[in-house]
Copies of this chain bind each other. A is one copy, B any other.
Amino acid sequence: MRALVLERKGVLAIRDIDLPDQLGPDDVRIKLHTVGICGSDVHYYLHGGAGPRIVNAPMVLGHEASGVIVEVGSNVEGLVAGDRVCMEPGVPDFKSKATKLGMYNVDPKVTFWATPPVHGCLTTTVVHPAAFTFRIPDNVSFGEAAMVEPFAVGMQAAVKARITPGDIAVVLGAGTIGMMIALAALAGGCSKVLITAVHQPKLDIAGRYTGVVPINIRNLDVVERVLEETGDWGADVVFEASGSPKAIASLVDLCCPGGTVVLVGVPTEHNSLDIAGAINKEIEIRTVFRYANVFDRALNLIASGQVDLKPLISETFAFDDAIKAFERAASGLPNDVKLQIRLAD
A residues touching B (Cβ–Cβ < 8 Å)? Answer: 26, 78, 94-108, 129-131, 155, 158-160, 162-168, 184, 186-189, 191-192, 210-211, 231, 233, 248, 257-258, 263-264, 266-267, 270-273, 275-276, 278-289, 292-294, 296-298, 300-301, 303-306
Contact = CB atoms under 8 A, between A and B. Distances in A.
A231 B168 CA distance: 33
Contacts of A97: 233
A278 B282 contact: no
Contact of A187 (B103, B104, B165): B165
B101 A258 contact: yes
A282 B106 contact: yes
Contacts of A102: 100-103
28 contacts: A94-B94, A97-B233, A99-B99, A103-B257, A107-B257, A155-B166, A158-B189, A159-B165, A163-B165, A165-B294, A166-B296, A187-B189, A189-B189, A191-B300, A191-B301, A210-B304, A263-B275, A266-B275, A266-B279, A271-B275, A272-B272, A273-B273, A278-B285, A280-B289, A282-B289, A284-B287, A285-B286, A285-B287
Contact of A165 (B103, B155, B164): B155
Best-surrounded residue of A101, A233, A275, A278 (most CB of chain B within 10 A): A275
A15 B324 CA distance: 73
A123 B75 CA distance: 30
A304 B165 contact: no
Contacts of A280: 289
A40 to B, nearest CB: 14
A274 to B, nearest CB: 9
Given A163-B189, A278-B287, A258 B184 contact: no
A300 B106 contact: no
B258 A95 contact: no
B168 A300 contact: yes
Contacts of A289: 279-282
Contacts of A248: 275
B211 A306 contact: yes
A214 to B, nearest CB: 14
Contacts of A231: 78
Contacts of A258: 98, 101, 103, 106
> Which 7 pairs between the two chains have the least Cβ-Cβ distance?
A102-B102, A166-B297, A165-B188, A191-B300, A106-B257, A95-B131, A285-B285
